[in-house]
Amino acid sequence: MAEYKGIKGFNIQTVSSDPANPLVGEVWYNSTSATVKYFGILSDAWATGGSLSTAITKLAGAGTQTAGLAFGGGSFPYLAGTEEYNGSAWTAGGNLTTGRNFLVGFGTQTAGLAAGGVSPPFTTATEEYNGSSWTAGGALPSANYKSAGCGTQTAGLFFGGSETPYTGTLEYDGSAWTAGGAMSQSRRNAVGFGTQTAGTAVSGRNMPPAIIINNTEEYDGSSWTAGGSINTAKAAAAGAGTQTAGLFFGGGYPIVANTESYDGSSWTSTSAMNTARRYLGGAGTQAAGLAFGGTIPGETDATEEYSVGGPATVTVTTD
């Protein structure tokens, strides 16, 4: 069996702690942990995160990978629960006043927003989260569900859905919704991410004729224009990020695990989730995405965290 010295011409350096600024390809023996390590390049990947306290589907999400928010969802009953994520575990937050599924969620863990959904039947209710409890916000002009949205609690965007106007867009200012520019295409169960003035609508199903569509539309605060075409069109997926750095994952009929990233003009396939699911919640950024809950086909409590690859210290393992 070849030895490191025979290959490289010198022994592996023994150190008591990992080097502060290793070079890619550098190998060392950490005497404290009694492990051989190297500094390598990892690819983008999903890792498991802390599980939700309840397996749940058709929920909404907001926030970041280390300060996430999951709320609503379920079917019979329609759930009102909220859970907060700290990067490793979920804990209970305040309940929505109106339990519902297929709702839209965005914002942050301490300034979240929930709008629309099935309660049943369909609701106009908007609720705002302050980090501990939900209070009523301005109602949607008309009830809708399976819509998408993005933005913040004081500058939000709500678009598409299963009720007319299927192409409609609404803008929220922290107290009321007003009409924005219409999308060129109807879509429900689409994914939204970005901001009110730089929003993104991805894939989904148009209506009618209820065909899964693969296009992206981008909002500039007043009108939508065409963006790049996604590689795998699907509805009931989730997303995260911004108009120029987006992430789109899960969803589909049948259920898929694939993930695509967006640079503002084109989509690129990246590492798939470890568990395929649809009707999941999503949050975070392109570089640090968060997926939770969904249907696999039973309901799941699993959370996954997406991280971009790059240089990292890796511990060498052996059989």
Which residues make up the interface to other proteins (CB under 8 A)? 42-51, 75-76, 88-89, 162, 188-189, 205, 210, 235-236, 253-254, 257, 271-272, 274-276, 278-279, 295-298, 302-303, 307, 309, 312, 314-315, 317-319
φ, ψ at 5 (rounded to 5°):
-60, -35
Complex with other proteins: residue 183 or 302, whichever CB lies closer: 302
Closest distance to other proteins from the beta carbon of 183 (Å): 18
In contact, 51 and 303? CB cutoff 8 Å: yes
Complex with other proteins: residue 71 or 279, whichever CB lies closer: 279
Closest distance to other proteins from the beta carbon of 148 (Å): 14
Q: What radius of gyration do the chain's Cα atoms show?
A: 22
Close Cβ partners of 76 (under 8 Å, ≥ 6 residues apart): none
Neighbour order of strands in the sheet with 191-194: 191-194, 199-202, 216-219, 224-226
Complex with other proteins: residue 92 or 226, whichever CB lies closer: 92
Q: Is 117 exposed, middle or buried (0-12, 13-18, 19+ CB in 10 A)?
A: buried
Complex with other proteins: residue 100 or 278, whichever CB lies closer: 278
In contact, 72 and 101? CB cutoff 8 Å: yes
CA–CA distance, 315 with 127 (Å, rounded to integer): 46
Token pair for 195: 């901001």
Complex with other proteins: residue 198 or 201, whichever CB lies closer: 201
Complex with other proteins: residue 268 or 274, whichever CB lies closer: 274
- The DSSP symbol for 212 reads B
Complex with other proteins: residue 38 or 155, whichever CB lies closer: 38
**Could you tell me the CA-to-CA distances from 119 to 57, 109, 198, 215 in Å, in that order?**
14, 23, 30, 30
Closest distance to other proteins from the beta carbon of 46 (Å): 6
CA–CA distance, 187 with 193 (Å, rounded to integer): 15
Cβ-based neighbour number of residue 137 at 10 Å: 21
Closest distance to other proteins from the beta carbon of 86 (Å): 10
Closest distance to other proteins from the beta carbon of 205 (Å): 6
Closest distance to other proteins from the beta carbon of 277 (Å): 9
Single-letter amino acid, residue 12: I
Closest distance to other proteins from the beta carbon of 211 (Å): 11
